Structure 1
Amino acid sequence: MTLCAAGLGAAKVATGLYGTPIMPKVSGPKNVSGVIERVEFLEEGDGSRVLLRNLVIEGVAPEDTPKLVRLRFRKDEGLVPGARIETLAKIDAPSRAVLPGAYDFRRHLFFEGIGGVGFSYKSAAVVGDAVGGADLLFENTRNVIERKISEHAGRVSAGIMSALITGQRGAIADEDDDAMRDSGLYHLLSISGTHVTMVAGVIFFFIRFALACFPYAALHWPIKKIAAAASLFGAAFYVLLAGAEVPAMRALLMTGLIMVAVMLDRSPFSLRLIAFAALAVLIMSPQALMGVSFQMSFAAVAAMICFYEYIRPWWMGWHARAGFVRRCVLYVIGIVITSAIAGCVTGIFSLYHFQAFQIYGVLSNMMAVPITGFVVMPAAVLAVVLMPFGLEALPLKAMEEGTLWMLAVAHWAARLDGAVINVGQWPLATLVFCSIGLTLFMLWRGWRGKGVAAFVVLCGFLIAAFSPSPEIMVSDTGKLFGVRGADGALYVSSRRGERFTIENWQRLSGHADGVPLLFSNRDSGVRCDADGCRIGRDGWKVSIVHTPKAYREDCAWADLILSDIPLRKIRGCNSGAVRFDLFDFRRGGAHAFYFGKDRISVRKVSGDTLRPWD
């Protein structure tokens, strides 16, 4: 009970500490003034994204002004962090979830302190000189590194190289981003345990090797402990440079414990590391618990530690008796086992959050991870060290070659037949059951306990298999309607607008690669004219009305009436039909409707109790 109370208290404190006012309803272009917090360069020709703080927004009271807003500039304005700028911009509240239970973009940005997003109509005017400070040191360092990478690397590889060093992924081409995701290599683009461990390992072995070259140091100094301390400081610098996101912070905490254990001559590998790191992250950022990064990173590392603790006696014995060739074979086997375990465990969370599972993840990781560990990341460390002296060209070239290999593997694996399995949206209960089952499987010793854990995971899958899918979907604008056809395909009222919503509806319906079909398609089961549409499904009659005429005509016929116009002032309808109009959708967010035997159920993004980010 005490831990539960402490968790709820931490969540309340975090809401006040990290949260922000959400931008009020947009009323046209506004004059905006603010200090540049961060500049993220996008793909060539797409300009840049700028994060502003200390804001003054025309027509918005100070108490309603967000802590941060994110604006997109069409061109690279050459803006510098710390400078105060003025511009004319359109700022909107961040998008809500496209369906109930889907990823909530507004919640995520709320805890990032970002209460508005938009774009600038013109170039920004600098009205205040850049102010230095510790908070801008790493931001300026990121920008310098990105410029150096752009000077020495090609357009294709520069975005990924920047992501691996600075954590900024905005400049990655869409086709490369999709290939990395579909091949199961996307974890290499998110600064996490793999990268932090590689950086710490490179520094550790280089420092230890360098000190071992001096006989006096090797004989009289604790060079292993010195190398551990140096690698810890290097890893901390890398995490701060990359933005200190949840996976990186978790990796830094665990790396720190490992290095401290080395300095204290203790065993560094234990589930206690996971527990300590998770507790520390949740104390600092309790909102991370619902994030995919927290769930996937901790699940993968915990599963690998449990497995290697189980096989450690045999593995250490094989390694001790192995020669060079056998050790190389053991290394390859280790990559295969690690990729398989991490892929299976994180696959559950991938299916819940992204509705996709990468079939060839083990194969692509076998081909890409060794190059990343032995070429890309060591070259990245060396490049950053040599940049102040202007000697970064050679290591950046080596890093680029390794990056191009990684990209080639990603595109090859992504093009294989059946590379990705797509599923429909899973309910939250599936995530809860699978998480509990995986935790029990790792902690409950003995095969009887593991059998119970496997049964709990199976129950989660069964819940997903028998969970109903929405028959009708309506966007939060009230202007886009979607219907699930008898064939399971998604049919939409229009393809002209709200493309982002349509793409996400397709993914959530399990048809991420398909082309969105229109109501006019003969198989949709929807019959439309200029005034509205009629749907008959499972004994239920649904009317989508666009005009008062259609509303009056379908009032007595329909069981459910959905409208993209206000209905409350239109008279002439006294039936018992359930009605939702434009104001309902704008106030409650996206709606999903489910057909039962005796009633129609509805879920909406924003419930009757408003949350801070609503």
Structure 2
Amino acid sequence: MTTQARAGLVAAAGRLSAAAVAPDWRKLFAGALAREVEERRFFLWIPVAAMGGVALNLAADREPVLWLPALLTALFAALAWLARTRPLARGIMIAAAALCAGFLAMGLRTARVETPMLDHVRIASLQGFVEEVDIRPVGARLTLAVADAGDMPASLAPRRVRVTTRQTPNVAAGDYVSLKARLLPPSPAVLPGGYDFARDAYFAGVGAVGSTLGAIVRLPPPRDASWSQRLEAAIDQARNRLALRVDAIIGGDEGAIAAAMVTGKRDFLSNDAKDLIREAGIFHIITISGVQMTLVAGIFFVVVRRLLALSPTLALNYPIKKWSAGAAMLGSLAYDLATGSRVGAERALIMTLIVLGAVLLDRRALTMRNLALAVLAIVAIE
């Protein structure tokens, strides 16, 4: 045998051994997918697919059309129903439908908000209802629902603006005011992948930020505020009164932290305290989210159940555990409203309501399926 033939045999043997050792990734993936379906864990991947659709929508370089993802969602859902006797194919179709549904949900959310964003720095005379007042150690920040933007073009006039003032204003949520302000567009992300204030402002309906120039004047409103505006104003006034009282009684940054955890008003904190908490990585402690919502729901649940258990008649003849879960749901909802119903609090509220709802339905409360349901609800609502 020649040297060339021997080398060819060695190379062929090497390829055969490599093929025998290398895993069949396609077969492994199909097996893993079939195992997920067989063990009924595939449901946990549905919110992952939905969030993937949301991410694809946000990554688009322009606003996509909505009819195509709606059509694809219906198509894949129909295919999933037709493939109901084939678990693997059904799972793939459901995942594709969830991906398209997440894409569609993000598009609908964007279309529902659709607020004009300021194009460049402007000096404007504004009139509108004060929606929220955040009192600071020096000055305050107002959120104004703009009713009249002066000579600003209607296509550029934002529906809502946030302005700061160096002095504590003599106005409260619900007042109709007139002010002059220097407005500028919300700042985009400074670094790639960093916090995008402009995007968050857009989805909050805020089209401009800035500072006031001169005095803020209260005026008689040209029309009555809507019931939702009156409710939000009453809640904000109550939050400010409670925050001021807590801060006055405890005092210092300790009082500011207590006020933030009770009412969600974080502007009482000094800048040094904010920087210190942020550097320590515990800023979430003073942000109303899962920790606070769980504590509130747990307190309502335990206290109501213990009180009901004091009566032998109620404890032995009635489902006091379910009654306690219902009371905890109402308490959590009230706490969310009382703290301003921020995005983090809303997400924690949805998760809490699903867990407590499982108690009402005699289902296991703490399961991965409940977590998946909460994520799906957040994708659909937020």
TM, length-normalised to structure 1: 0.44
Aligned 8 A contact 2:247 2:258 in 1: no
Aligned 8 A contact 2:124 2:152 in 1: no
Alignment of 1:344-359 (within 5 A): none
Alignment of 1:414-493 (within 5 A): none
| Aligned-partner Cα distance in 2 for 1:15–1:257 | 26
**Which residue, out of 201, 204, 224, partners 1:112?**
204
| Aligned-partner Cα distance in 2 for 1:208–1:267 | 18
Aligned to 1:246: 343
| Aligned-partner Cα distance in 2 for 1:24–1:128 | 31
Residue 365 (structure 2) pairs with residue 268 (structure 1): yes
| Aligned-partner Cα distance in 2 for 1:39–1:128 | 19
Aligned to 1:87: 179
Residue 264 (structure 2) pairs with residue 167 (structure 1): yes
Aligned to 2:194: 102
Q: Secondary structure at the match of 1:114?
A: coil
Cα RMSD, aligned residues only: 1.9
- Aligned pair in 2 of structure 1 residues 155, 229: CA closer, same or farther (>3 Å)? same
Aligned to 1:235: 332
Alignment of 1:11-30 (within 5 A): 11-27=106-122, 29-30=123-124
Q: Secondary structure at the match of 1:225?
A: helix
Alignment of 1:186-205 (within 5 A): 186-205=283-302
Residue 243 (structure 2) pairs with residue 149 (structure 1): no
Aligned 8 A contact 1:87 1:125 in 2: yes
AA aligned opposite 2:276? A
What's the CA shift for 1:120? 0.7
Paired residues in the alignment total 282
Unaligned runs of 5+ in 2: 1-95
Unaligned runs of 5+ in 1: 286-614
| Aligned-partner Cα distance in 1 for 2:150–2:120 | 13
| Aligned-partner Cα distance in 1 for 2:190–2:249 | 40
What's the CA shift for 1:89? 1.1
What's the CA shift for 1:63? 2.5
AA aligned opposite 1:166? T
**Partner deviation per Cα, 1:257-286 (whole Å, 9 max, x = no partner):** 22122223321111111211111111112x
TM, length-normalised to structure 2: 0.69
Alignment of 1:149-548 (within 5 A): 149-285=246-382
| Aligned-partner Cα distance in 2 for 1:246–1:114 | 15
Aligned 8 A contact 1:50 1:71 in 2: yes
What's the CA shift for 1:115? 0.7
What's the CA shift for 1:111? 1.1
Aligned 8 A contact 1:156 1:173 in 2: yes
Aligned 8 A contact 1:55 1:68 in 2: no
**Partner deviation per Cα, 1:503-541 (whole Å, 9 max, x = no partner):** xxxxxxxxxxxxxxxxxxxxxxxxxxxxxxxxxxxxxxx
Aligned to 1:408: none
**Partner deviation per Cα, 1:464-504 (whole Å, 9 max, x = no partner):** xxxxxxxxxxxxxxxxxxxxxxxxxxxxxxxxxxxxxxxxx
**Which residue, out of 48, 70, 77, partners 2:169?**
77
AA aligned opposite 1:151? A
- Aligned pair in 2 of structure 1 residues 55, 100: CA closer, same or farther (>3 Å)? farther
Q: Secondary structure at the match of 1:259?
A: helix
Q: Secondary structure at the match of 2:180?
A: strand
Residue 241 (structure 2) pairs with residue 134 (structure 1): no
| Aligned-partner Cα distance in 2 for 1:10–1:228 | 30
What's the CA shift for 1:79? 1.3
Q: Secondary structure at the match of 1:66?
A: coil
- Aligned pair in 2 of structure 1 residues 186, 101: CA closer, same or farther (>3 Å)? closer
| Aligned-partner Cα distance in 1 for 2:126–2:361 | 54
Bigger RCO of structures 1 and 2 (CA < 8 A, at least 6 apart) = 2
What's the CA shift for 1:62? 2.0
What's the CA shift for 1:192? 1.2
The structure in which a higher percent of residues are helix is 2
AA aligned opposite 2:201? L
What's the CA shift for 1:141? 2.3
Aligned 8 A contact 2:248 2:255 in 1: no
| Aligned-partner Cα distance in 1 for 2:189–2:347 | 27
- Aligned pair in 2 of structure 1 residues 225, 15: CA closer, same or farther (>3 Å)? same
**Partner deviation per Cα, 1:192-240 (whole Å, 9 max, x = no partner):** 1111110011111111112222333333332222111111100111112
**Partner deviation per Cα, 1:101-134 (whole Å, 9 max, x = no partner):** 3322211111111110011122200002695623
